Amino acid sequence: MKITITKTTTPNVMPPEEKLGFGKVFTDHMFIMDYEEGKGWYDARIVPFGNISLHPASTVLHYGAEIFEGLKAYRRSDGGVQLFRPMENIRRMNNSAERMSLPLLDEKDALEILETFVRLEERFVPKSFGTSLYLRPFMFGNDEALGVHAVKRATFMLIASPSGSYYAEGINPVKIMIESEDVRTVRGGTGYAKCGGNYAASTRAGERAAKKGYSQVLWLDGVERKYIEEVGAMNVMFKIDGEIITPMLTGSILPGITRKSCIEVLKTMGYTVTERLLSVDELVQAMEAGKLEEAWGCGTAAVVSPIGKLAYGDKEYEIGGGKIGEVTQKLYDILTGIQWGKVEDTFGWVHKL
Ligand code: PLP
Ligand code: COI
């Protein structure tokens, strides 16, 4: 595909790596292309990073037609840069687009956009283990009219943010609260799509949990408020009595790429991973019986995040003595090892640039 590049005349200074947070500073450029029904995607361009201008009636501002993805470019110890399973993000973005009646991307073009952009912004891929260049592709409906229908115009963009290690002092188990009031999404809704509205609707519960001293909430399903779904904006896994269980993908859960990768790594480690409905009652019983050995969240940002305490109602349960469990640690080591190029990738997941 043809991508025109207009370089910035005012390059940014890359902040010191130890000062990088998450998603706060951006690279010099951004990618944009536009879509119009009948014309398809056009005017693919990389331009200096900056504000964009929208018509006040733009669909995204009224009806929330927005989807996004999140993936990282990692610096290997040999100095090279690589992506992790980028086609998975591209395919998921198209599934999200289909759900929100937004236009699909050509998969090959989308990969070329990622590659071209990361090569251009290579100096922003930090070097220390755990740090990365976080890539944020996103798309929004951009009709300049208030009618409610599938959009005729859309915009796709890619921005990138050099980000620090998610864990400044190593991975620490977090405190999580089981949420029994708000739900994230429902089956038949948009849970499997990575659309902005899912996140806007879930921050209230997260804020309330934070006020009570918890890092995040554990979501229950929106139909029966009975089955475990996700933890915050991550998928969740449990080791109960030797068996690894993760909620099955019912349509309200985001099909995480880290989740999928964890399942494959765990299988090669000799564990059976069961994807099924797991009720909160079953989980509480396992905790009461001391059979919940490990619990962790998994997602691109944190990779693997151990859960040390879980609260339900007015009861708080400690998991694995509040320490990171053996399986959680191994998963973290293997996945981060592959991502940062320290462990041989026997799965064919890394995409070197
Ligand atoms: N669940 C939600 C709601 C998310 O936003 C994310 C993050 O992207 C995940 C799960 C984990 O998905 P992935 O492993 O593909 O990053
Ligand atoms: C993740 O990568 O795990 C996330 O949840 C990303 C978040 C910033 C939406």
Q: Is 300's C-beta closer than 6 angstroms to any atom of ligand 1?
A: yes
| Of 163, 190, 211, the domain-final residue | 163
Choice from 300, 303, 332 to test ligand 2 binding pocket (greatest atom count within 8 A of CB): 300
Report yes or no on 242 lying in a domain.
yes
Please check whether residues 182 and 137 belong to one and the same domain.
no
Mean pLDDT confidence for 213-231: 96
- As beta bridge partners, residue 231 has 218, 234
Residue-wise pLDDT for 35-48, tens only, equals 999 999 999 999 99
Residue nearest to atom 9 of ligand 1 (CA): 234
Distance CA 122, CA 81 (A): 8
Mean pLDDT confidence for 57-65: 97
Torsion sign, CA atoms 263, 264, 266, 270:
positive
Is residue 34 scored above 70 in pLDDT? yes
What residues have CB less than 8 Å from 84, skipping those under 6 apart? Answer: 71, 72, 74, 257, 338, 339, 349, 350, 351
Residue-wise pLDDT for 240-268, tens only, equals 999 999 999 999 999 999 999 999 999 99
| Of 138, 163, 188, the domain-final residue | 163
Distance CA 15, CA 6 (A): 23
Specify burial of residue 89 (Cβ count, 10 A radius: 0-12, 13-18, 19+).
buried
Is residue 168 scored above 70 in pLDDT? no
- Mean of pLDDT over the chain: 95
Please check whether residues 73 and 98 belong to one and the same domain.
yes
Enclosing H/E stretch for 311: strand 303-312
What CA–CA distances, in Å, run from 73 to 121, 133, 161, 259?
10, 5, 10, 19
Distance 297 CA to ligand 1 centre (A): 10
Please check whether residues 43 and 145 belong to one and the same domain.
yes
Look at the chain and report how many structural domains it folds into: 2
pLDDT at residue number 28: 97
pLDDT at residue number 169: 63
Report residues whose beta carbon is within 6 angstroms of any ligand 2 atom: 70, 233-234, 299-301
What residues have CB less than 8 Å from 189, skipping those under 6 apart? Answer: 222, 251, 252
Is residue 204 scored above 70 in pLDDT? yes
3-state class percentages of the chain: helix first, strand second, coil last, to nearest 5: 25, 30, 40
Please check whether residues 129 and 264 belong to one and the same domain.
no
pLDDT at residue number 161: 97
Contact 252, 221 (CB under 8 A): yes
Q: Residue 29 belongs to a domain with what CATH number?
A: 3.30.470.10
Please name the residue ranges forming H helices in the chain. Answer: 59-63, 86-99, 107-120, 196-211, 257-268, 280-288, 326-339
If you search the block for the tokens 């993000």, which residue do you land on?
89
Q: How confident is the model at residue 21 (pLDDT cuts 50, 70, 90)?
A: confident
Q: Is 253's C-beta closer than 6 angstroms to any atom of ligand 1?
A: no
- As beta bridge partners, residue 82 has 74, 352
Q: How confident is the model at residue 346 (pLDDT cuts 50, 70, 90)?
A: very high
Encoded amino acid at 256, one letter: G
Residue-wise pLDDT for 105-163, tens only, equals 999 999 999 999 999 999 999 999 999 999 999 999 999 999 898 899 999 999 999 99
Task: Give the ligand 2 atom nearest the CA of 233.
Answer: 5
| Of 114, 138, 163, the domain-final residue | 163
Phi first, then psi, for residue 263 (nearest 5°) are -60, -45
Report yes or no on 169 lying in a domain.
no
The residue that leads in pLDDT, 19 or 239, is 239
The residue that leads in pLDDT, 279 or 187, is 279
Please check whether residues 79 and 102 belong to one and the same domain.
yes
Is residue 9 scored above 90 in pLDDT? yes
Please check whether residues 13 and 129 belong to one and the same domain.
yes
Is residue 19 scored above 90 in pLDDT? no
What range does the domain containing 309 cover? 174-339
Please check whether residues 248 and 281 belong to one and the same domain.
yes
